[in-house]
Amino acid sequence: MGMKKILLLFIFSVITMFVNGQNIASANLTWDVDEVTDLQTQTTIPYKATFKTNASSSVEWIQKEGALATLYNVVATEGTWENISSYGSFTFLLNRNGKHCRLTVEKDVGGTFITLHFETVENKNYRQRFRVLAKL
């Protein structure tokens, strides 16, 4: 095997180890989504946005091609998910300006999804489920 092939194999192995070993609780990750489902009405529409989970400190929701960015502080987390290339789930309990919500990232045989669960002052639940584009 030539030196060039060995070098390429080494680089691919290092990249694969980095991606496969990412722990959602300690890594800064970007999740691009392409559709959203309103879980009350079961209505699904195309929707492009990005969620950035910054270890266990903050979550940024970027919409309208970057024109609208909302930053949430993480107040607590639930679960463990040490390898995002495997099936699992992890929940961030978020706060922004005194309003709380839950953001759950989950991966199963059906794909990777982010669920945002807001509770309003009137005790009405508002939940949205976003489909995450495949990583690699």
Q: How confident is the model at residue 4 (pLDDT cuts 50, 70, 90)?
A: low
* pLDDT score, position 130: 98
- Name the amino acid, one letter, at 2: G
Distance CA 129, CA 108 (A): 14
3-state secondary structure of 20: helix
Q: Which helix (H) or strand (E) holds 12?
A: helix 3-20
Identify the residue with better confidence: 119 or 64. Answer: 64
* HSE of 28, CA atoms in CB hemisphere, 13 A: 4
Average pLDDT over residues 69-81: 96
Distance CA 49, CA 45 (A): 12
Q: How confident is the model at residue 13 (pLDDT cuts 50, 70, 90)?
A: very low
CB 103 within 8 A of CB 91: yes
